[in-house]
């Protein structure tokens, strides 16, 4: 059995920062200090700088000359583009997965949904949202297409961070969970047209929820 290679300082810094952005510990738009991160992780600035560069490529961090790094923020048009991207790529992956291994896809999705229900019952939001991400990654796992998987993986962190942001909205998680259960039932039936409908509804609610949250925030600021 091959021994697992120890993670480099760059990989450790990358994992820490990515997880902190995804779970909301680092907020959208928050300024990131290389010095402060280096001190917190007890590493030099070099691996932190390399990690930030990787996160920039993933869309989780923006870096400007003379201004430094900050966690990404999203406008409504950007959220709409993410939703368009998700709908196109997840639909394509679903079509392949249903042809190649529908029974295993349904079985694994059902297991993840059961785990999601358990974490909801425990009040474990972070665990629930991690499983939400895993649910959608199953589509690409069973599609058997490396190019689709790579395209989705490039932005999965940003999608997960947006998911965390929206989970704070009233009833959002409850509605989302119900949609996951309906998708699993439809996968068991092998009804691709219904899957497209449910997936479009599921993703479009992200678009609308972000829009509504932005309107509410603007209203609070102007009062």
Per-residue pLDDT tens over the stretch 2-49:
556 667 888 999 999 999 999 999 999 999 999 999 999 999 999 999
Least confident of 6-10, 40-44, 155-159, 181-185: 6-10
- Residue showing tokens 């999601």: 116
68-71 and 61-64: which strand pairing?
antiparallel
Q: Which residues pair with residue 71 across a beta bridge?
A: 61
d(CA 4, CA 210) in angstroms, rounded, equals 41
Q: Are 189 and 76 within 8 A, CB to CB? A: no
d(CA 139, CA 62) in angstroms, rounded, equals 29
Q: Domain limits of the chain?
A: 9-71, 76-222
Mean pLDDT of 114-137: 95
d(CA 26, CA 21) in angstroms, rounded, equals 5
Specify the fold of 9-71. Arc Repressor Mutant, subunit A (1.10.10)
Q: Please write the tens of the pLDDT for every residue from 138-148.
A: 999 999 999 99
Q: Which residues pair with residue 62 across a beta bridge?
A: 70
Q: Which residues pair with residue 195 across a beta bridge?
A: none
Q: Which of 58, 80, 81, 60 is nearest to 70 (CA)?
A: 60
> Furthest-apart CA pair in the chain: how many Å?
63
Architecture field, domain 76-222: Up-down Bundle (1.20)
Identical fold between 9-71 and 76-222: no
Structure tokens that stand for 49 in this block: 């700088």
pTM of the model: 0.85
66 pLDDT band, cuts 50/70/90, is confident
């Amino acid at each position: 059995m091959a021994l697992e290679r120890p993670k480099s300082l760059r990989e450790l810094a990358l994992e820490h920062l990515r997880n902190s952005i995804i779970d909301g510990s680092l907020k959208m738009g928050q300024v990131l200090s290389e010095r402060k991160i280096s001190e917190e992780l007890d590493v030099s600035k070099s691996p932190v700088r390399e990690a930030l560069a990787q996160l920039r490529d993933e869309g989780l961090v923006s870096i400007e000359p003379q201004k430094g790094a900050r966690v990404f923020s999203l406008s409504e048009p950007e959220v709409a583009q993410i939703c368009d991207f998700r709908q196109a790529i997840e639909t394509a992956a679903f079509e392949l997965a249903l042809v190649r291994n529908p029974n295993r896809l349904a079985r694994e999705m059902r297991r993840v949904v059961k785990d999601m229900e358990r974490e909801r019952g425990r009040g474990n939001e972070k665990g629930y949202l991690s499983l939400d991400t895993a649910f959608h990654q199953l589509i690409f796992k069973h599609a058997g297409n490396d190019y689709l998987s790579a395209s989705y993986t490039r932005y999965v962190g940003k999608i997960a961070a947006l998911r965390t942001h929206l989970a704070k909205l009233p009833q959002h998680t409850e509605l989302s969970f119900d949609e996951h259960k309906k998708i699993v039932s439809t996968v068991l039936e092998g009804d691709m047209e219904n899957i497209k409908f449910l997936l479009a509804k599921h993703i479009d609610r992200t678009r609308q929820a972000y829009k509504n949250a932005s309107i509410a925030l603007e209203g609070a600021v102007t009062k």
